Amino acid sequence: MSQKSRGIYSLLSNTFFYSFVQKVMSATIFREKIVKKYIKKTDAKVLDIGCGPAEILNSFPKIKYYGYDINPIYINSAKKKFNNRGKMK
């Protein structure tokens, strides 16, 4: 599967810009609300398809997290930031 990489998409490939857009659009706050509402157990397993840089991990308690994204830049960023807190591919 290929990812669009021209125009605005090239900007969104930058994890800093992607995160900034997520915060401006209130996606970060929305994710936090969803996590607080639905993830109650610390032994939960979460599969995140299209995880981006996996910033949702900031909201999760200790869980088993599996993140997948087609953008290797996002995956590498998530691995650097969250180390062994989840499995990202």
Domain-wise residue ranges, the chain: 8-88
pLDDT at 8: 67
Determine contact, residues 39/46, Cβ cutoff 8 Å.
yes
Q: Give me the tens of pLDDT residue by residue for the chain, a chain 89 residues long.
A: 566 666 666 667 778 887 888 888 888 888 889 888 988 887 889 999 999 899 899 888 888 999 999 989 999 999 999 988 888 87
- Please spell the DSSP secondary structure of 7-66, one letter per residue: THHHHHTSHHHHHHHHHHTTHHHHHHHHHHHH---TT-EEEEET-TT-GGGGT--S-EEE
pLDDT at 26: 83
pLDDT at 65: 92
- Name 48's bridge partners: 67
CA torsion 7-69-87-47 (nearest 10°) is 130
pTM of the model: 0.74
